[in-house]
Structure 1
Amino acid sequence: MAERYAVPPKVVDLIETLINNTIDGLVMKLNVRRAQLLKIVHNMREEKRAAERGRKEMTTKLTETQSYLQEQLKENPLQSMQERIDKEMEDKLRELRINIPVETKLQWQCDTREIEMSISRLGDIVQEPVGVSKYSTFQTSTIATGKKGSGPGQLNDPRGVAIHEATNQIFVANYSNNRVEIFSDTGEYLNQLGVRQLNRPRGIAIHGENVYVSCWGNDTINQFTLTDMSLVRKIGSWGSNNGQFNNPRQLTTDPIGHVFIADQLNHRISIHDTDLNHLRNITHQSMTQPFDVKVSRDRVYVLCINDNPCMHVLTLEGDKLHSLITCGLGMDVLCPVFFCLDSLNNFVISDRYSHSIRVFSPEGNLLHKIGTEGHQQGMLYEPKGIAITPNERLVSVSKNENYPLQIFY
């Protein structure tokens, strides 16, 4: 009887094969489903992080708005009257300046308080200003270089520009190529910095042999030395604590080497020593989204790109002196993004959407316009980083497809 109902070996093998195939199919489906679930969980975590960042930004904005409204409620009527009187005095002084020779006016540091001091010593002022008249001759660039691409010396969406004062060498934050390119002041490619060490570099500043680079990709500030082109240190992460950054933009140094960083979405200027140790912050209720910052002998200039772009003029301690609206009827600029100061504290501003460079006096009067929209030599397309070399050459980078780096002199 046992032999009559025995299952043939081939049938057994077939059944085992079917069972194994069924099990393998189930395992495969389970693995696919597991991968799908892991992706869903990952996306949910990313959405949660994005929502948390949005919540923090909104909380910060609400807190700042609340503080501003509280200050407005506390405003002293007498203080408002004093401000009106000060404005009338400034307007009167501006009218009086019309009768002063242009050559003399261009020599002044045009802060209102310094004008009063300067009146008593007009006889000592040099009558022929050096370098300023050059702007009217900058109809086209003398040098156009830095072809678009990813190879050495080529640029791909360049951002910040800085000049080494001792050598006149030009340093360009090569944003999409994740490095810094170095050129001579005649446009010759020299070297690279930060290869495979930078993540979307935006801003750049130089003091002595130290080069400081801000990176949008990981919210860091990177310090290099020109001695051997090595990375000395890196600080920062995303956040709002001291030493953290939220979209760091341009940076600059003062005469003793302190680093001033435009921490855009934290609405502050973060100040560090030469080794990038945090020292203090500059904040002001009207200073929102600082994009670029420069420091002169006794002033801090901050360009903000919120709904009403402003150039804020502060003391070194961070006290606000006055502001200039940098777009509209007063300044005739569409989208100011980068700026530098010339030897007379005129503002030289890259105007992204008018595809030009504008030069303004310290009180906001338009002096010159450089460049037109295009991709040929002397033309600009969405200009960004800008700097002036010690030997009076104006350096500009833009999205010009043929000549992203141009030098005017």
Structure 2
Amino acid sequence: MAERFTIAPQVVDPIETHINYTIDGLIGLLNVRRAQLLKQVHNMREDEKAAEIARKEMTTQLTEAQAYLQGHLKENPLQFMQERITKEMEDKLRELRINNPVESVLKWQCDTCELETCISRLGDIVQEPVSVPKYSTFQTSTIATGKKGSGPGQLNNLRGVAIHEATNQIFVANYSNHRIEIFSDTGEYLNQLGVRQLNRPWGITIHGENVYVSCWGDSTINQFTLTDMSLVRKVGGMGSNNGQFNYPCQLTTDPIGQVFIADSDNNRISVHDTDLNHLRNITHKSMAQPVDVKVSRDRVYVLCLFNNPCIHVLTLEGYKLHSLITCGQGMGVLCPVFFCLDSLNNFVISDQYSHSIRVFSPEGNLLHKIGTKRHQKGMLYEPKGIAITPNGRLVCMSKNENYPLQIFY
């Protein structure tokens, strides 16, 4: 009978098992923590690389912006802007150095803030229009176009004018023909707008693809779209309530598309949104019979005809009068109805009864006088609407029987 062998069962020490289990758990946790730390180190290095790249890119942008600005300053009278920006940059640098006297690994962040501030400020200046009309050459450099009549492209008793900034196209309020005529900036007739839809159009302004037209015949404001040249809406009507008008004259828009309307016989500026919903009124005891209005980055300029012709300068909110520029006393201005601003904030005013265009500095000093009472090319007879194209051409309407639309360059 074969001998039977048996294997004794292995004895497991529970203490050893617990120790091994604990060690394995600690090793696992250390591996996970090691992986987390390696990932954090990798991300920090990537962030440092990205920050360094961003710093170099912004330094390059600043250098390019400065070079771009310098190039424009050589061609345009904006030296005072360069001096102002240079001082602002020096003050900012000095402030940063005082507040951060100790160099650290985060120094690039301060430099980045400094560069972003400078580039942003330079960008605002570079984007401002730099073309200033050459007023001294206007007598000899003139495009005269348009004929008196009622046919397409013919003009009869003109009023306001507006420029489409993207195309330089000229939109003319053809008052007695009850429509808007469209010309190129070289005087070529292009199209019509609002045929059989407008009643004695007076003022006109453009924002994007929206065209807003004020009409004296029915005291309304009309909104067209350039997408299909159609009438979008007509608002208003004769009255003094909010949303009503009493012979609305020129109108303009601000950068966000709000419409500012010179509501002449209601002695106010009526402010509306892009869909012509009434927002508020701007009034002042000195504002009597406003006929034209313009809006800059932080000011509202209102031309008033009653008594002594003058331009009121108000805050953008319109709550108080900032300053007053008087044009009538000693300036030879008799009956101004339209004005515009050039890129240096000079006031360019068309004066009907002196048959001329007058250019005033922002302080109200007379700089130029343009025009003579004649029905010839380069001459003006009761000038009306006036505007400046982005490429520096000045457009003026008048009762010149031979050349009612003239483009000075």
| TM norm structure 1 | 0.69
1:265 and 2:265 aligned? yes
1:10-409 matched pairs, under 5 angstroms: 131-132=131-132, 134-318=134-318, 319-329=320-330, 331-409=331-409
Q: Which residue matches 2:23?
A: none
2:309–2:334 Cα contact (<8 Å) kept: no
Q: 1:141 to 1:153 in 2, by over 3 A?
A: farther
Between the aligned partners of 1:218 and 1:171, the Cα distance in structure 2 is 21
| 3-state SS in 1 of match to 2:135 | helix
1:141–1:406 Cα contact (<8 Å) kept: no
Structure 1, residues 249-304: CA drift from partner, whole Å, max 9, x if none? 00000011000000001000000000000000000011110000000111100000
Shift in Å, 1:335: 1.4
Q: 1:392 to 1:325 in 2, by over 3 A?
A: same
Shift in Å, 1:132: 3.9
Which one-letter code corresponds to 1:328 in the other structure?
Q
Which one-letter code corresponds to 2:336 in the other structure?
P
Structure 1, residues 59-82: CA drift from partner, whole Å, max 9, x if none? xxxxxxxxxxxxxxxxxxxxxxxx
Shift in Å, 1:332: 2.9
Shift in Å, 1:137: 1.4
| 3-state SS in 2 of match to 1:291 | strand
User: Where does structure 1 lack aligned partners over 5 or more consecutive residues?
Assistant: 1-102, 110-114
Structure 1, residues 69-101: CA drift from partner, whole Å, max 9, x if none? xxxxxxxxxxxxxxxxxxxxxxxxxxxxxxxxx
Which one-letter code corresponds to 1:168 in the other structure?
N
Between the aligned partners of 1:118 and 1:311, the Cα distance in structure 2 is 29
| 3-state SS in 1 of match to 2:381 | coil
| 3-state SS in 2 of match to 1:265 | helix
Q: 1:399 to 1:296 in 2, by over 3 A?
A: same
Q: 1:107 to 1:401 in 2, by over 3 A?
A: farther
Which one-letter code corresponds to 1:253 in the other structure?
T
| 3-state SS in 2 of match to 1:328 | coil
Larger radius of gyration between Structure 1 and Structure 2:
2
Shift in Å, 1:371: 1.2
Question: Which piece of structure 1 moves more, 333-342 or 131-140?
Answer: 131-140
Which one-letter code corresponds to 2:346 in the other structure?
N
2:219–2:238 Cα contact (<8 Å) kept: yes
User: Where does structure 2 lack aligned partners over 5 or more consecutive residues?
Assistant: 1-74, 91-121
| TM norm structure 2 | 0.69
Q: 1:134 to 1:259 in 2, by over 3 A?
A: same
Identity %: 80
CA RMSD of aligned residues (A): 2.4
Structure 1: which 4+ aligned runs deviate by more than 2 Å? Answer: 103-109, 117-126, 129-133
1:271–1:280 Cα contact (<8 Å) kept: yes
Q: 1:211 to 1:162 in 2, by over 3 A?
A: same
